[in-house]
Structure 1
Amino acid sequence: MKGEFEVDKSKRKELQEEFKQIKTYMGAIQITNKVSGKIYVDTFSNLKNKWFTLQMQLDMGRFANAGLQKDWKELGADSFTYEVLEQKEADEITDIKWECKQMLKHWLDKLQPYEDKGYNKPLLR
Structure 2
Amino acid sequence: MSTKKALKQQFREMEFRKGVYQLRNLHNNKMFIGSSMDVDRAWNSLRVQLISGNHANTGLQQDWNTLGEGGFAYEIVEILQVDADPQADVKAALKTLETLVMMELTPYGEKGYHVQKS
TM-score, normalising length: structure 2: 0.85
- Which of 10, 15, 18 aligns to 1:26? It is 18
Q: After TM superposition, where is structure 1 displaced by more than 6 Å over at least 4 residues in a row?
A: none
Q: Is there any run of 5+ residues in structure 2 with no aligned partner, and where?
A: none
- Which of 78, 83, 86 aligns to 1:86? It is 78
- For residues 18 and 30 of structure 1, what CA distance do their matches in structure 2 show? 30
TM-score, normalising length: structure 1: 0.81
- For residues 56 and 73 of structure 2, what CA distance do their matches in structure 1 show? 18
SS of 2:15's equivalent? coil
Segment of structure 1 superposing worse, 86-95 or 42-51: 86-95
Contact 2:32 2:114 in 1 (8 A): yes
SS of 1:109's equivalent? helix
Partner of 1:108: 102
- For residues 81 and 101 of structure 2, what CA distance do their matches in structure 1 show? 18
Q: Percent identity?
A: 31
CA RMSD of aligned residues (A): 2.1
Equivalenced residues, count: 115
In the alignment, does 2:84 pair up with 1:76?
no
